Structures are given as structure tokens and as C-alpha cells.
Structure 1
């Protein structure tokens, strides 16, 4: 191709680069907002199957939406007025017990508990390392870290409220949003696009319900075991409601959530209760993780998203690396959506060549 005006070509190319950079900076600036919107849309797609199920029970569309929204708000309100005060009280008690815990580090109580529960662990080496780390701490750094944690908590609460409001809006107007998107597709391809979009939407909804069900099972079982069963056998566990809440939140994260939550809970029981409670809690979570991996997860999630196990692991790792916890949450349904497109669009097209 003959270039008639090199300057004009270079100018247009430079302007194109500047526009691309500007778009990238805009996306980065709006990353938090886009994350909120993505999380809310993800949850709305998860609630849509419930609305559809209510419609099959002769509920009008608006009544089904109001019922689901009332249920969501009811659960949120119940969480605030029933669970949060208990957790807040147990967090306050745990904070008040922290000075005694620090004292116990130095008078040998914690060391004795750890050595009794984990005789193979080099406690003295850990204590020496802790003392060296504490001696190098800067008070200014600690204060800045505490302030950063406070800002992070406030930001998280604000984000949760924003996501809840957006979820309510998306649930109530999901059909309208879908119709608007469908109108942008050429009429000759619209029917196929609608079919694929509805399959993807259903897969996302089933996944959200499945993951929420796994988290609910873990949270409820943890609360029952830690609050009722273990104390009945002389194995008291302090702050059981807080620990059950940690189990519930951890199980919302695919693959590593249950394991991470179980490790955190076991370590907290070790610090605040010692042996033999920590041994019982550790054994319980080892058994539960096997139950979830081989019984609950296959039965629930195989009906939700039918994708190979290796692809699940790869998708969760990639999503977590790119977008953190939110990426890990949405990676599996995104992988399911890509698999649907590949199976129903790309493979038939390749077969016709």
C-alpha cells in the first residue's frame, strides 16, 4: 500500500494510541464500580431462577420478584439483628481476651497448650522468631496498619450496601436489561443468541444457588457442632457463632475457601481453647472436607455447572489471580458460559467446514 501522507498516518496512529491509553485508564479508575456492578449482576442472575420457579407456581412476575426481594431483605435484616450482635459480642470478648493471650505467651500457658496439642511442632523456635519479629516492629507501622484495616472494613461495608442495592435493581429489571441487549443483535442471529444467553444465565444462577447452599450447609453444621455437640461431650469451644460465620464466608469461595476457613477456625480454637478441643475441631473439619468434596459438592455442583474438574481448577485460579475473591467466584460460571459457546457455536461451525 502506498502511503500518500505519512504525517497524517502517524498522527492518526498516535491519536489511536492515546485513545486506547485513555480507555485503559478509565477502566482502571472505574475498577471498583465495575466490580460492584459485576457482583450485583452475578447475584441477580443467581436469584433469577428462584423468580422463575415462583412463576411456575402461578405467581405473577411482579409478585415473584417482590417475594424474592422480601426474602433477600429479610435474610439481610435477620443477619443484622440476630447474628451480627452475637458475632460482635464474641469479637469484643475475643479482643478483651487478647491481653490475657499475650500474657499467656510469656508465662508459658500458650506454649503448654500448643506443645500438648502439637508435640511435633518446634514451639521454642517459633517463639524465638516471634520475639525477633516483635523487637523489630515499628509503632508507626502498627498504627498505620490498624488505620488501614479500619478503612478496609468501612469500605467493605459500604461496598456490601452498594452491591445489595444494585442487586435489588437488577433483579427487578433483569428481563428489561436482557431485552435491551437482545435488540442490539442482528435479527438473523437473534434467536440463536437469545438461546445461548438464556443457557448462560441459567448456568450462572444454578452456580450461585449451589455455592450458597454449600456455604449454608458448612455454616449451619459448624454452628451446631461447635455450639451444641462438642460442649455436650466436655469439649467447649469459645466464640462458636463467630467461627461458624467464618466457615460460612469461607465456603462461598470456590476450591480453597473451605480449606482456608477450616485452618483459620482450627488455629483460633488452638489459641483460645487449646487441647483437646482443637484436636476435635481439627478432626471434624478434616471429615467435613471429605464429605463436601466427595458427597455434597458433586451432588450439588454437577447439577449446577457441568464442566470438567480440571477446567474448574484452572478457571478458579485464573479468576482469583485477575480479580481476587470476586474473580474466583465468577470464574467457574464464566468457564461454563465459554464451554457452552464452544460446544454450540464453534464446534458445529468447524464441523461444517
Structure 2
């Protein structure tokens, strides 16, 4: 009976059912990660923070600091820097709020004067009717607005819970990451344990390179938009640039929100023309980031093709929203470095692979084994 079926059809059927099984398994994994997103996302962010802070912890440990103390120092310093930046932004905005309110009133008066005396020739009664309708809309939809506020409050509670979990997991990753990793590797069969160990170390090295490249992109965004705001003459340039820097770590939405704040302030302080100029600057910097900085810097740091970086961000955004866009490229970078390592027939001793400075994650054409061999020769 088998001989009656063409060979091409048999091969196609065999490939088809195996493909379906693989897709079903991937779907199950993605569904499970979505179901446990309240845990998966904080743990993933904690891993990113660990990759950012691990080099500093390692440096302090090399200076004979106990690992627990080094972890505490780096975490406290990181939280202090983040808190200081946020406090600076909030303080600057608060101090400039009276001036902004005055300029907003002036802008509203100018708009009102244009509506009455401009080409539209609206009457005072029409403008007042519009304002009354807006107030009535808010009053009539008070229940839905209240429900939205409660939903937002619940979301804020979830964010705070996730922040606490992220901080807790980050502490353990920094303080005992080596022990946790060794425990996980012991679950791998002994015959491939060494190769998997090396692949995991190289994957984490690629993650460290990704975090550094992301920080470089954030700096370029902040400097570019900050210079543009300074040239236009928009107030609060430094806090706005700081806001852009912080927002650049959140793909798409962070840059959009930070740029939107800059455009609104320009609209209040520099009229419509100034807002359009600032909007053009923000769009230009965002295009530079999306099409040049992220593909080239991130692709070069994690040895990924620029097209793969762009597609990974787009796929992550479609599949899991902002969290997916944030985690897609790091996940792809880790998988790329790990798979490249696993495909090599001969791997070095895991103890010789520096997970924080491995040349396997650097932008060169050397294979991982050759890179580590070069490192060993340099040491000799």
C-alpha cells in the first residue's frame, strides 16, 4: 500500500505533521507564558536588570567585596540613580508648572481670539456652548470614567506588585546567579551538560551586550531630542531629555509618550509652529532609532542581522504588546548565541568562558571556539 503513495507526497506528509507538532508545542509554550505573564514578565525584566548590573557586581567582587555586599551596593546605587532622575524630572516640571499654566492660558486666549476674529468668525455663544457640551459629556459618562479610573488603579497595583517581585528576583540573580545557573544545568543529561553550560554562558554574554547597546541608543535619543528642543527654545530641556532617556528603554510606547510630552510643552510655549518643529524632530530621532540605531547597534552588539532585529520587535509587539517588544530582541539574542554555541562540535571548558566579557557575543567573525582560544593565548 505504501508503494502506491508517491514518495514526494510521503515526504511532504511527514514534514507536515512534524511541522504541526512543532507549531502546537510552540503555541502551548506561548499560551503558558501568557497565562503566567504576571510571573514571567517580572522574572524576565529581572534577568535584563541582572545583565545590566552584573558587570558592576563582578567588579566589586574582584575588589574583594563580599558578593552580598556588592549586590546591595549596586542595587542601592541603581535605585538611587533611577530615583534621582525621576525626582529631578518631577521637581523640574513642578517648578515650571506655574509658568506653563500662564502660557497655557495665553495660548487658549489666542486660540479663542482666532476662532472669533479669524476666518471661522465663531460667536462667543458658540464657543461657550461647545465648552458646556464637553462638561456635560464628562458628567453623563461619569460612571464609565470611574470604572476606567478603578481599572487604572488596579493596573497600577499590578505594576507595583510586579516591581516588588522584579526587585526581589534581581537580588537573588545578582547574589546567587551562579548557584542558580549551576543547579539548572545539573538537570541536563551529563553527555551534553558541558555544551549546554557553555551555550548558556554565551547567551548571557549576548544579553549583557544587548543591554549596553540599548543604553547607547537611549543616550543618542536623549541627546538628539534635547539638542532639538534647545534649538527651538522649549523650556525644561534637561528634564525632557531625561524623560526621553528613561522612556527609550521601553520600546515604542516609551519614546512616543516622552516625545508627546515634549510636543505638548512646545505647543503651549512656542505656538503651533514650534510644536510642529518639535514633532518633526521627535519623528526624525525615532526614525533614526528604529531604522539605523537599533538595527545597527543592537544587531552589531548581539550579532544579529538588522532585519532580524526589526522583525523581532514587530513580532513581539503583535504577539504580546509592549512586554513582547521589550523582551523579543533579548530573547532572540540569547537564542542566537546559545544555538551558535551548540552547533560547534568542540567547546572549551565552561570555566574558561567569561559570561560578562565573552568574545562570542562581540561583533567579529571569529567563531566562539576561536575567540576563546585567542583569549587563552592572550592570557599566556
1:119-268 superposed matches below 5 A: 138-220=141-223, 222-223=225-226, 226=229, 229-230=230-231, 235-240=232-237, 243-254=240-251, 258=255, 261-262=258-259, 265-268=262-265
1:290-329 superposed matches below 5 A: 292=289, 296-297=293-294, 300-329=297-326
Tell me which of 46, 51, 71 is aligned to 2:52.
Answer: 46
1:263-282 superposed matches below 5 A: 265-271=262-268, 273-282=270-279
Using the alignment, how far apart are the partners of 2:310 and 2:285 within structure 1?
20
SS in 2 for 1:173: helix
Change beyond 3 A, Cα 1:145–1:130: farther
State yes or no: 1:107 paired with 2:104.
Answer: no
Using the alignment, how far apart are the partners of 1:311 and 1:212 within structure 2?
20
Shift of 1:29: 6.1
Partner of 2:11: none
Q: TM-score, normalised by structure 1?
A: 0.67
Contact 2:299–2:309 (CA<8 Å) still a contact in 1?
no
Using the alignment, how far apart are the partners of 1:98 and 1:158 within structure 2?
39
Contact 1:39–1:326 (CA<8 Å) still a contact in 2?
no
Contact 2:103–2:268 (CA<8 Å) still a contact in 1?
no
Contact 1:269–1:278 (CA<8 Å) still a contact in 2?
yes
Q: How many residues align?
A: 305
Contact 2:225–2:281 (CA<8 Å) still a contact in 1?
no
Contact 2:295–2:305 (CA<8 Å) still a contact in 1?
no
SS in 2 for 1:307: coil
Partner of 2:84: 78
Change beyond 3 A, Cα 1:222–1:24: closer
Shift of 1:210: 1.8
Tell me which of 70, 75, 87 is aligned to 1:69.
Answer: 75
Shift of 1:134: 8.1
User: Alpha-carbon deviations, 1:166-200, whole Å to 9, x = none?
Assistant: 32332112111111111112222111011100011
Using the alignment, how far apart are the partners of 1:260 and 1:112 within structure 2?
34
Partner of 1:18: none
RMSD: 4.4
What are structure 2's unaligned runs of at least 5 residues? 1-28, 120-129, 346-380
Contact 1:307–1:336 (CA<8 Å) still a contact in 2?
yes
Using the alignment, how far apart are the partners of 1:300 and 1:202 within structure 2?
16
SS in 1 for 2:146: helix
Shift of 1:220: 5.0
Using the alignment, how far apart are the partners of 2:142 and 2:110 within structure 1?
20
Using the alignment, how far apart are the partners of 1:254 and 1:209 within structure 2?
15
Contact 1:238–1:273 (CA<8 Å) still a contact in 2?
no
Shift of 1:329: 1.3
Contact 2:298–2:304 (CA<8 Å) still a contact in 1?
no
Partner of 1:288: 285
1:20-35 superposed matches below 5 A: 30-35=36-41
Shift of 1:313: 1.9
User: Alpha-carbon deviations, 1:214-272, whole Å to 9, x = none?
Assistant: 2234235544653xx33xxxx44245455334422432134675466435533552355
What are structure 1's unaligned runs of at least 5 residues? 1-22, 116-128, 349-353
Using the alignment, how far apart are the partners of 2:117 and 2:42 within structure 1?
46
Contact 1:253–1:329 (CA<8 Å) still a contact in 2?
yes
SS in 2 for 1:273: helix
Contact 2:295–2:309 (CA<8 Å) still a contact in 1?
no
